[in-house]
Amino acid sequence: MQKRAVENLERIRSFGEKKALVIAATGTGKTYMSAFDVKGFKPKRLLFIVHREEILKKAKETFEKLLPNEKLTFGLLTGNQKQKNADYIFSTIQTMSKCYEEFKRDEFDYIIFDEAHHATSPSYQAVLEYFDPQFTLGMTATPERSDQQNVFDLFDNNVALEVRLHEALEDELVIPFHYFGITDIEGIDLSDVDIDDVAEITKRLKVNERVDFIIKNMNFYGHDGDKRKGLGFCVTVEHAQYMAQEFNRRGIQSICLSGNDSVELRSYYINRLEDDHDDLEFIFTVGIFNEGVDIPSVNTVLMLRPTNSPIVFIQQLGRGLRKHKDKSFLTVLDFIGNHSKTFLIAIALNGSRYYDKESLKVAIATGFANIPGCTHIQMDKISEERILAQIDKENFNSLKYLKEEYFEFKKMNQGKIPFLLMDYMKFDGAPDPIKFINREKTYLQFVAKVEKEDSLKRLLLDEAFEGVIRELSSKLPLKRVYEFAIAKYLLDHDEISLETATQEILKLVKEVDEDSVLHAFQCLNQDFYDPGQKKRNLKLFTLEDGHLSKTSTYQIVLQNEEYRPYIEDLIIYGIFRYEKEFKEDYYGVPHLKLYEQYQMGDAALLSNYRKSHSAFRGSGLLSNGNDYFLFIDLHKEEDIKESINYHDEFINERIFQWQTPNSTAPSSERGKNIVFNQDRGIHLHLFIRKYKEIDGKTEPYIYIGKGNTVEYEGEKPITVTMELENEVPASLYTEFTKRV
């Protein structure tokens, strides 16, 4: 993780960028990573700013340890220590915001803001704006804490690294967890209560019998480590107080803490919980244990409230995943009631923003085998069946569901309307806003519809503005980043040459070929739109003499201060999400990443096809030069109720059987290219999906790489047996072949 971050920071700097942000879970070694980067950068003077004094001494020690022979002095700048002349100064923001003007603006070559999500506050802003270092690095575990401002913007939207829960588990940056989904006791009925009615839920959960049931399960499932150190997440303060009181009554030392308690009191009890010789075993709390509250040795988490948000679920889970010498895994006990939103647990555990009904059901049925590492997830039969039944009933593409998802997210956004797509990047477990775009052509149209927002409706009455955001939205999610790298540059410049475009693209990826840059220019010029698309879609760019410039309509819209933030947001979001999914790798031409989702038309774009892209449709077999694209449905419409279609199927993880379109004979040119593909230099690319559509929405295909024909029989159609160049991963193979 540290190596990848440092490489990316170097690449970002090599293109003249002066700021970047690193997002990674608490305990993943961000301070070490920053020290490694500083070691390479060799600043004469460094400023390291933190929010809380406890972190400061640790950070200073880390730097001293990693930079022992550099003849540097290290000093602290806090309320009681004022070592202002040290080469490398470690300061609290409270002290620095009082004395920053005593330093020259260019005093420091390199500045680090730890817990950078606080950087939107006025004290940080003043310091950030005053200094002019060669480079500024922001580090945070949670980019979501912000009032109106966006922490991404403060660091010029350059994200050098983002590690969220799933990646952290995969890279073993956090410990695995053992999750047990336990059906709540029979006496508690939440089926008829609104999930937001916390008073009523509190009343129904305050049952003595339930407390006994929780303790019985705690004793049964145990924990890792000598002393139990637990966090219990409750619905309300009243519920947390009740739980602490009942645990104490049963001889388990517990305390209730909430946002109302002072920082001193909280740290007093946290230290007691962490102390192996203290008899305090549990802290019951509400909502999230505020960010920055870190209890590394927690080995038990109790989920005692109905889950109504995947975001909250992931944040609560994350509280116990810090590595610690006394534990090798975290025990999570989730007491699952019969409320209507139980299936959100599955969405949270599945860890993918991009889910459908089918993949969720398979994940549940296989005990979430797709989760990396030694994590173990087990739900009892009743909970599992309850969740599967809810998923079957729910239509994830209905307006009703999308509205619920949107309003739940708005609540997480401190009740503020999330006007920007980038708002969804602030939370691990946020909904996928592309679903909202697909519903209404643009995200703002969706918000205007569900919020009945007059100011937005007014903006959208401007046909030119609406046309701009619709044209940009139609390209999301990006499957290659070239077009948006160019569009980002053209936000502030009148035109761009192929050479400059290449430089801009290389800020985001390690390599790019000349022809693809030219193809991106032609795509932005709408060269490959059919007449209908040209009529429907606003033209934003014009290509002349190898230079791309903005059309006058687009220029006028961009000059409008009300419109511009939304256009910038679309472009930044497209790039940001692309980087998250594709990283900085170069995939060649065709630009295809293994196990990524694609639609048929994407193959035209990604193979630099130079005719109308909408014509790139067919009976499952399309070609561009020596690249053949095979689009395969495992279950044909008519046989969903019957048996599986036996012509297109996996024989095993390495062998796939496919039947060509009916008109293909082995003696034809196309037939020979398929059956002797290797001898003829033909690449057969396989795209597979289980069902054509789910809940009335067309499903994407998944690219499983190239296959080579090893056997064939029959003609018109030919049945071909192919050996795959990449063995399909077990979890994906299960998803393709298991029927739930």
DSSP sequence for 169-182:
HHTTSS--EEEEEE
The burial of 381, by beta-carbon neighbours within 10 Å (0-12 exposed, 13-18 middle, 19 or more buried), is given as exposed
Report the distance separating Cα 17 and Cα 8, nearest Å: 12
Cα(330)–Cα(139) distance, integer angstroms: 25
Same-domain pairing of 389 and 475: no
Nearest one of 359, 346, 350 to 387, comparing CA atoms: 346
Per DSSP, the residues of 59-112 read: HHHHHHHH-TTS---EEEESSS-B-TTSSEEEEEHHHHHHHGGGS-TTS-SEEE
Among the candidates 163, 188, 211, a domain finishes at 163
Question: For residues 603 and 229, what is the distance between their CA atoms, to the nearest angstrom?
Answer: 52
Collapsed DSSP state (helix, strand, coil) of residue 298: coil
Both tokens assigned to 101: 């003007």
Name the phi and psi angles at 114, rounded to 5: -80, 155
The tokens of 309 are what? 């948000």
Query: Given a cut of 50, is residue 643 above it in pLDDT?
Result: no
Tell whether 371 and 249 lie within a shared domain. yes
657, 724 contact by CB (below 8 A)? no
How confident is the model at residue 631, as a pLDDT?
96
Q: 576 and 637 share a domain?
A: no
pLDDT at residue 640, rounded to an integer: 44
pLDDT value of residue 16? 84
- One domain for residues 630 and 499: no
Residue 645 has pLDDT above 50, yes or no: no
Averaged pLDDT for residues 652-661: 95
Q: Are residues 509 and 370 in the same domain?
A: no
Whether 149 and 182 map to the same domain: the answer is no
* Residue 447 pLDDT greater than 90, yes or no: yes
Bridge partners of 77? 82, 91
- Percent of the chain at pLDDT > 90 equals 62
pLDDT > 80? residue 190: yes
φ/ψ of 302, rounded to 5, equals: -110, 125
Report whether pLDDT(639) > 70. Answer: no
Decide if 618 is inside a domain. Answer: yes
Do residue 212 and residue 330 come from a single domain? yes
pLDDT of residue 642: 44
Both tokens assigned to 237: 């303060």
Distance CA 480, CA 512 (A): 11
Report if residue 455 sits inside a domain.
no
CATH code at position 673? 2.30.280
Residues 6+ apart with CB under 8 A from 515: 589, 608
SS3 state at 329: coil
Does 479 share its domain with 403? no
So what's the pLDDT on residue 254?
A: 97
22: β partners: 139, 161
The reply to whether 242 falls in a domain is yes
On whether residue 172 sits in a domain, the answer given is: no
Domain holding 405, by residue range, is: 396-448
Note the pLDDT tens digit of each residue in 174-185.
899 999 999 999
Q: Which two tokens stand for residue 690?
A: 């289980």
Is residue 347 domain-resident?
yes
Task: Flag whether 361 is in a domain.
Answer: yes
Question: Does residue 453 sit within a domain?
Answer: no
Beta-strand ranges (E) seen in 306-413 are 330-336, 376-379
**Cα(136)–Cα(19) distance, rounded to whole angstroms?**
5
Average pLDDT over residues 266-286: 94
Residues 356, 210 within the same domain: yes
Residue 589 counted as domain residue: no
Please tell me whether residues 131 and 258 are part of one structural domain: no
Tell me which residue of 711, 715, 716, 726 sits closest to 653, measured CA to CA: 726
- CA-closest candidate to residue 10, choices 553, 407, 507, 425: 507
What is the average pLDDT across 334-340?
Answer: 85
Alpha helices, DSSP H only, in 366-426? 381-393, 399-412
Give the pLDDT mean for 712-739.
92
- pTM of the full predicted structure? 0.87
- Identify the band that residue 57 occupies on the pLDDT scale cut at 50, 70 and 90: confident
What digits encode the pLDDT tens for the residues 198-210? 899 889 888 899 9
Q: Check whether 720 has a pLDDT greater than 90.
A: yes
Quick check: 25 pLDDT over 80?
no
Count helices and strands (H / E) in the chain. Answer: 29, 27
Q: Residue 646 above 70 pLDDT?
A: no
Confidence of residue 163 (pLDDT cuts 50, 70, 90): confident
pLDDT band at residue 740 using 50, 70 and 90 as cut-offs? confident
76 φ/ψ angles, rounded to the nearest 5 degrees: -105, 145
The last residue of a domain, from among 423, 448, 473: 448
Q: Are residues 500 and 577 in the same domain?
A: yes
Inform me whether the pLDDT recorded for 662 exceeds 80. yes
The pLDDT, as a whole number, for residue 676 is 97
For residue 18, the model assigns a pLDDT of 95
pLDDT tops 70 at residue 292? no
> In terms of C-beta density within 10 A (0-12 exposed, 13-18 middle, 19 or more buried), how is residue 310 classed?
buried
49 plus 109 within the same structural domain: yes
- pLDDT at site 256: 95
Residue 296: strand, helix, or coil = coil
Tell me: pLDDT of 424 over 70: yes
Number of domains in the chain: 5
pLDDT of residue 288: 60
User: Given strand 88-92, what is the order of strands in its sheet?
Assistant: 74-77, 88-92, 46-50, 110-113, 135-140, 19-24, 159-163
- Nearest C-alpha neighbor of 304 from the set 347, 344, 343, 333: 333
Give all strands of the β-sheet with 282-286 in edge-to-edge order.
Answer: 254-257, 282-286, 230-234, 300-303, 330-336, 177-183, 376-379
CA 169/CA 46 separation, integer angstroms: 32
Distance CA 385, CA 364 (A): 9
How far is Cα 300 from Cα 222, in angstroms, rounded to an integer?
A: 9
Query: Is 456 or 704 the better-scoring residue by pLDDT?
Result: 704
pLDDT digits (tens, 9 = 90+) for 476-497: 999 999 999 999 999 999 999 9
- Which pLDDT value is given to residue 287? 67
Read off the tokens for 407: 């309003």
Q: What is the DSSP letter of 611?
A: S
Instruction: List pLDDT tens digits, range 110-158.
Output: 999 998 888 888 888 899 999 999 999 999 877 765 455 678 888 988 8
- The one-letter amino acid at 636: K
In order, the DSSP letters of 673-725 are: HHHTTTTTT-EEEEEEES-SEETTEEPPEEEEEEEEEEEEE-SSSPEEEEEES
Distance CA 152, CA 138 (A): 9
Confidence of residue 413 (pLDDT cuts 50, 70, 90): confident
